[in-house]
Amino acid sequence: MTDKPVLLSGGNPQIPKGYGDAPVRAYIAAMPGWKRDVGRRIDALVERCVPGVEKAIKWNSPFYGLEKDLWFLSYHCFDRYLKLTFFRGQSLDPVPPVASKSGDTRYVHIHEGDAFEDQLEDWIKQASKLPGEKL
C-alpha cells in the first residue's frame, strides 16, 4: 500500500469520500503540478468569501456549500485545466462562460497561468447566497 493517492484520468486525485476540511486538504495536496497551487488558492478564496463553508470530497472532487449536501461549487482536475462547477451558475452575473447539459450549471476552466481570483471571488459570493444543489 502506498501513501500517495492514485491519479485518475487527467491527473485527478482519487481521494475517498469524506466531509470536512481534511479530505479537501488531502485532495489539494495530491493535485499534480501547477494545479496544486490553484487548488490552494481556490480553497483559501472560498474560506475567505464564505465564513463557515462546509467542505467535502465526493466523486473525487472537492465540494463547497453552506449546509451538508447542499453545494454551490466543485472542481475537478483535467489534463490541461481545472474545471470549476457552479451548480446555479446560470443565476450568476456575469454567467460563467462554459455551458452544461444541465440547464442551471455553468463551468469555468482555469488553465496554467490564468488570473482568476477577482472574477471567481465575485462568483463565489453570489453562488453562496443561492440555494445549494442537493447531491
Domain segments of the chain as ranges: 9-134
Helix, strand, coil fractions of the chain, as percent rounded to 5: 30, 30, 40
Looking at the DSSP assignment, which residues form a beta bridge with residue 58? 61
Could you count the other beta carbons within 10 Å of the beta carbon of residue 74?
22
**CA-CA distances (angstroms) from residue 80 to 5, 6, 19, 75?**
20, 18, 27, 14
Please determine, for residue 1, whether its predicted confidence score (pLDDT) is greater than 50: no
- pLDDT single digits (tens) 53-106: 999 999 999 999 998 889 999 999 999 999 999 999 999 999 999 999 988 999
Give residue 11's pLDDT. Answer: 83
Residue with cell 462546509: 54
Give residue 96's pLDDT. Answer: 97
Task: Please give the CATH number for the structural domain made up of 9-134.
Answer: 3.90.1150.200
Residue 107 near residue 85, CB atoms below 8 Å: yes
pTM for the model: 0.93
- Give the end-to-end CA distance of the chain in Å, rounded to a whole number: 31
